[in-house]
Amino acid sequence: MKKIRFLLLGACMVFAATAAKAADYPSRPIRLIVPFPPGGITDIMSRAVAARLSASLGEPIVVDNRAGASGVIGAGLASRAAPDGYTLMMGNISTLGINSAIIKDMPYDPVKSFTPVSMVAIQPLIVAVSPGTPAKNMAELVALAKSKPGGLFYGTSGTSYQLVTEAFNSAMGIKMVHVPYKGSSPAIEALLANQINVMFDPFSTLYGQVRAGKVRGLALTTKKRLSVAPELPTVSETVLPNFDASSWQGIVAPAGTPKPIVDKLNAAITKILKTDEVQRQFAKQGVEASPSTPEEFGAYIASERKRWQDVANTVGIKPQ
């Protein structure tokens, strides 16, 4: 009986200490690791949230870009940080959903190495073709690809967009050849120069070229159209019913971060993402602010990880 009372007393003391830390949190600057270069959509979302989160919590949020290896370098660094709430990471579809399916010997596990805090944003990809590619809609693109097996080339700025494109290839029974690039900018330059035929890339990075008439936008990869680009149909409504693939971002902390701290961060982030100001700012870039509970975000990460692992298995992509 004494042992039970001792254990209960110990548990109560731990809970009280954790609660006290959460009440005082934060008391110094917080580092938000962004595992991609400045200027990309994950960086843009990170800085938009960081500025407002700093104002809400009363401490600086320092954005720390640690790019490399499709986000693996930054994510590995975040996974090894102390689980005290002072290191966070803006994860995305690559770091938390796809990398484990195509990269061998990763230094972190997308599920076990992190504690989910909140989803932040979801946005569609645009399917666009080069000026010299004759397809004017998705049906014509599919017909062109079927008439030239292996004769069309698609570029990607990251492994996540490769798997999305390969999922489309597999579902449509076509074969387009992958050409990898180190970022959206060189891939878009190749598209403009007719060095590649097709790109699946985030709306925020590619729509400016579509709007300027420099490349031809054919469709969006989400099920719903965007109010800022109503002229673009969706893949789902044109050639492949129920096709749905998104670029997404969300904040995680190292595994073991105390729940009261996670809950405090979640409450602040949710409040920020629900403001009209942030929703309007995101919408201009074709991005939907998407707050969630930690549990909902954790379930989403697990489902995305399984989904893209299944795609990799189907199309024969093995970890390298």
CATH number for the domain harbouring residue 80:
3.40.190.150
Position 318 scores a pLDDT of 85
> What is the C-alpha separation between 88 and 96, in angstroms, rounded?
14
Cα angle 63-67-68, degrees, rounded to a multiple of 5: 165
75 is a domain residue? yes
Closest of 139, 120, 121, 119 to residue 129, by C-alpha: 139
Phi/psi of residue 124, nearest 5 degrees: -80, 165
Closest of 178, 213, 154 to residue 312, by C-alpha: 178
36 is a domain residue? yes
0.95 surpassed by pTM: no
Instruction: Single out the residue in 205, 238, 271 at which a domain terminates.
Output: 238
Instruction: Single out the residue in 238, 272, 305 at which a domain terminates.
Output: 238
The DSSP bridge partners found for residue 89 are: 33, 252
5 is a domain residue? no
8 is a domain residue? no
Asked if 58 and 98 sit in the same domain, the reply is yes
Q: How many CB atoms lie under 10 A from the CB of residue 4?
A: 8
9 is a domain residue? no
Asked if 109 and 254 sit in the same domain, the reply is yes
| Count of domains for the chain | 2
Q: For residue 213, give the CATH number of its domain.
A: 3.40.190.10
Asked if 216 and 252 sit in the same domain, the reply is no
Position 19 scores a pLDDT of 54
Position 16 scores a pLDDT of 47
Position 11 scores a pLDDT of 45
1 is a domain residue? no
Instruction: Tell me which residues of the chain have a pLDDT lower than 50.
Output: 10-14, 16
The structure tokens listed for 143 are: 């017909």
Asked if 144 and 231 sit in the same domain, the reply is yes
Asked if 117 and 159 sit in the same domain, the reply is no
The burial of 291, by beta-carbon neighbours within 10 Å (0-12 exposed, 13-18 middle, 19 or more buried), is given as buried
Asked if 251 and 107 sit in the same domain, the reply is yes
Asked if 117 and 251 sit in the same domain, the reply is yes
Instruction: Single out the residue in 238, 262, 291 at which a domain terminates.
Output: 238
289 is a domain residue? yes
Asked if 98 and 200 sit in the same domain, the reply is no
Task: Give the distance, in angstroms, between the CA of residue 3 and the centroid of all CA atoms in the same chain.
Answer: 48
103 is a domain residue? yes
Asked if 106 and 253 sit in the same domain, the reply is yes
Closest of 122, 42, 96, 75 to residue 302, by C-alpha: 96
Asked if 176 and 215 sit in the same domain, the reply is yes
Asked if 220 and 290 sit in the same domain, the reply is no
Closest of 33, 13, 72 to residue 251, by C-alpha: 33
Position 12 scores a pLDDT of 43
Instruction: Quote the domain boundaries for residue 45.
Output: 14-122+247-315
Asked if 170 and 216 sit in the same domain, the reply is yes
